[in-house]
Chains A and B, each alone.
Chain A
Amino acid sequence: MWAWLHRLGSPKRFYGWSGALARWSGWLSLLLGAAGLYYSLFDSPPDYQQGESVRVMYVHVPAAWLSMFIYMSIAAASLVSLVWRIKVADMVAAASAPIGAWFTFLALATGSLWGKPMWGTWWIWDARLTSELILLFLYLGYIGLLAAIEERDTAARAAAVLALVGVVNIPIIHYSVEWWSTLHQGATVTKFDKPSIDLDMLRPLLLMALSATLFYVTVVMRLARCELLERERDSQWVRALVDERQGGESAR
């Protein structure tokens, strides 16, 4: 099992399978996203309290879910990199950070856009909103730390430690709506008993969330591959790849 993992994590192997993964998840994301968009805009009912403004949720909830999912991926990759010294894990973690920051921003911005008509305010220092804002700062801190340290491996290790410490914020975000009396509504999907959301609303929500997750997989794999090529530029297999590309171009 470990030997197998190490083989998958070897730069050359990783370059091979990550390309296929990026392609497939990209197409699947597009497909699910198209279906999700159709359901969220055309084929789902208005909420009995929120009216049509509920459609903001089909952007907001997937973005918020992805903001936490990407952070957990960074933390998991950081752990792998610290414990097993698999270089590829560093690259995946580093490549995830900008994507995570963008989706955290999207979750906050769409939350504001929904909060204005529904709560009557763009922003409130509520536990859920504040902890999500802290998540954005964690992403920015992580990106800044990576950029600030010149030596690559030191930077990766320092950023990995920061990412792992920051994990404490994730359960805080998730449970904030239970632990404190917040303005933000409670969970309706991730509950142990049956979700308390109508199926017609759950459908676009899940489609959009799945599409967003696959979108992340595509983008992170493509970014990590670039980093990998750059770091491995002197290795035999990258040189062979470059020759192949150049040969293809001169033949054209």
Chain B
Amino acid sequence: MSEFFHMGGYAPYVWASYLLGLVVIVINLWLPWRAERQVWRQLKRRRRNEERVCESETS
């Protein structure tokens, strides 16, 4: 097992590469997640504001 982590002496280079790959993947999962949250929040807020305007117009 420790031989596996040792990577024939190239451990820092190999594991740093996989770690960086993971970081880039996580960032690219977070970007659309954030965008989706923002856009839906904004769309819902607009809708609520519209409804409020409609209500105040009818009353």
Contacts A233-B46, A242-B47 given; does A223 touch B10 at CB 8 Å = no
Instruction: Decide if B32 touches A223 in the complex (CB within 8 Å).
Output: yes
Answer yes or no: B43 CB below 8 A from chain A CBs.
yes
- Docked-complex contact B21 and A222, CB < 8 angstroms: no
CB distance from B46 to the nearest CB of A (A): 7
Per-residue CB proximity of B1-44 to A under 8 Å, as 1/0? 00000011110011011101100110111011001101110111
Q: Are A99 and B43 in contact (CB under 8 A)?
A: no
Instruction: Assess whether A128 is interfacial by the CB under 8 Å rule.
Output: no
Q: In the assembly, what is the distance between CA of A52 and CA of B39, in Å?
A: 45
Residue of A46, A110, A227, A242 near B21 (CB, 8 A) is: A110
Asked if B13 and A215 sit within 8 Å, CB to CB, the answer is no
> Which residues of B have CB within 8 Å of A225?
36
What are the residues of chain A within 8 A of B25 when measuring CB–CB? 215
- Closest chain B residue, CB of each to CB of A50: B10
Contacts of A222 in B (CB 8 A): 32, 35-36
Contact with B along A218-239 (1 / 0, CB 8 A): 0100110111011001000011
Judge whether B29 and A219 touch: CB under 8 Å.
yes
Given A53-B8, A99-B28, A230-B39: A106 and B20 interface contact (C-beta under 8 Å)? yes
- How many B residues touch the partner, as a band? 20 to 34
Which A residues lie at the B interface, using CB under 8 A? Answer: 41, 46, 51-53, 55-56, 59-60, 63, 98-99, 102-103, 105-106, 109-110, 113-114, 116-117, 215, 219, 222-223, 225-227, 229-230, 233, 238-239, 242-243, 245-246
**Which residues of A are found within 8 Å of B10, using beta-carbon distances?**
51-53, 55-56, 117
Query: Is A51 within 8 A of B13, CB to CB?
Result: no
B20 / chain A contacts, CB cutoff of 8 Å:
59, 106, 109-110, 113
Task: Report yes or no: A59 in contact with B27, Cβ–Cβ below 8 A.
Answer: no
Closest to A29 in B: B25
Nearest residue (CB) in A for B43 is A242
**Considering the complex of A and B, which 4 residue pairs feature the smallest CB-CB distances, nearest first?**
A52-B8, A222-B32, A53-B10, A226-B35
